[in-house]
Amino acid sequence: GATGWRYLATGPDQGTSWRATSFNDSGWATGRASLGFRNPVTTTIPATTGRITYYFRTTFAVPTGQPIQGATLRLVADDAAIVYVNGVEVVRHNLPTGTVGFTTKALTAVSGAAETTPVDFTIPASALTEGTNTIAVEVHQASAGSVADLTMDSSVVILR
């Protein structure tokens, strides 16, 4: 998975500005993927009772050269996630259509092996630029009642 993820597990609703490439996340904690709690993870983040949404950000490089055909995103998200590349939504997994906010719950709870099993998604070439790209992931839980499991990991493979 990616290294050097910044994450916000205890802060308030971030609205939409946190997805933007220009957002200053220097005050967020940093850890290596996979991140989460209760499941086997590389970086344990704070578990907060009643929290629905957790935020994650990192950058990745797309080398210059041949035209970009697209990319494959390998994602582990317990329970659901929206992934943004350079501020544009590219993946929505286990969340309703339409506007998703800080309190939007996952459509279904993920359990067992599915909590740590990667799912592959296609990222269109139009979402990527040569050089540095920002990936932002918001992970949503299915329940706010207690501290559930949380796992987030992703990797991007550029297709040329």
**pLDDT attached to residue 23:** 96
Task: List, as one string, the DSSP characters of 65-109.
Answer: SSPP-EEEEEEEEESEEEEEETTEEEEEESS-SS---TTPPPSS-
**pLDDT attached to residue 56:** 93
**pLDDT attached to residue 9:** 86
For 110: left if phi > 0, alpha if psi spans -120 to 50, otherwise beta; the answer is beta
**pLDDT attached to residue 1:** 43
**Other C-beta atoms lying within 10 Å of the C-beta of residue 89:** 13
**pLDDT attached to residue 147:** 57
**pLDDT attached to residue 40:** 80
Q: Are strands 88-93 and 5-8 parallel, antiparallel or unpaired?
A: unpaired
**pLDDT attached to residue 31:** 92
Beta bridge partners of 131: 62
**pLDDT attached to residue 156:** 86
**pLDDT attached to residue 134:** 95
Enter the pTM of the model. 0.90
Query: Residue written as tokens 């990319």?
Result: 71
| Distances 91 to 24, 63, 151 between C-alpha atoms, Å | 23, 22, 17
Specify whether the CB–CB gap between 154 and 73 falls below 8 A: yes
**pLDDT attached to residue 41:** 85
Specify whether the CB–CB gap between 141 and 36 falls below 8 A: no
Separation of CA 51 from chain center = 16
Q: What is the pLDDT along the chain (160 residues), one digit of tens a residue?
A: 445 899 998 888 999 999 999 999 999 999 988 888 887 888 888 877 888 999 999 999 888 888 888 899 999 888 999 999 999 999 999 999 999 999 999 999 988 888 888 899 999 999 999 999 999 999 999 987 655 677 788 888 888 7
